[in-house]
Amino acid sequence: MKRDADEAVAALMKPMKREDVTDLIAFRKLKKAIKWAEVARKVGQSKEWTTAACLGQMQMTKKQAETVGRIFELPQEAVLILQTVPYKGSLPTAVPTDPLIYRWYEIVNVYGTTIKELIHEEFGDGIMSAIDFSMDIRREANEKGDRVRVEPFRRPVVAGQQRQNVGDLLPVVR
């Protein structure tokens, strides 16, 4: 008995995973020459949040996922996956090998204990939220060549509150 070619391929396919969706979005972004800021405007979020969500690090609402699905011509299965809670942390190795990501790792290794000490001195047993964290990435002109400026958005902090989120305490990286 012969099978239809589409049936044969479908039988071999495994269920789509979040990594598959991320790869598909990255490929379609490249193919369509779309900027993250353009996607973010349509999604209604910052370019930083939208990029993280499209790279599999944030959960989208149904409306956001459907918007991304239309932009990147994703199958319905991918749109559903974008609405699930992700397993966060996308680095393939414990110590990053990508030079840019490694610099962030280096900042945490060099300044991590300093940041922790200063947060505890200022706020007591405070923590910084990575879930409710937001940032703005921009170009900053410099006579030695443009620099990257990463600024977290400021949040109000209640003095004396234990285990509070202090997401505005990261240094500006230039």
- Tell me the catalytic residues: 103, 106, 129
User: In the block, which residue shows the tokens 């499209």?
Assistant: 54
Phi, psi of 153 (to 5 degrees): -80, 140
Distance CA 53, CA 174 (A): 25
Instruction: Dump the DSSP string for 48-104.
Output: HHHHHHHTTSSPPPHHHHHHHHHHHT--HHHHHHTTSPP-----SSSS--SHHHHHH
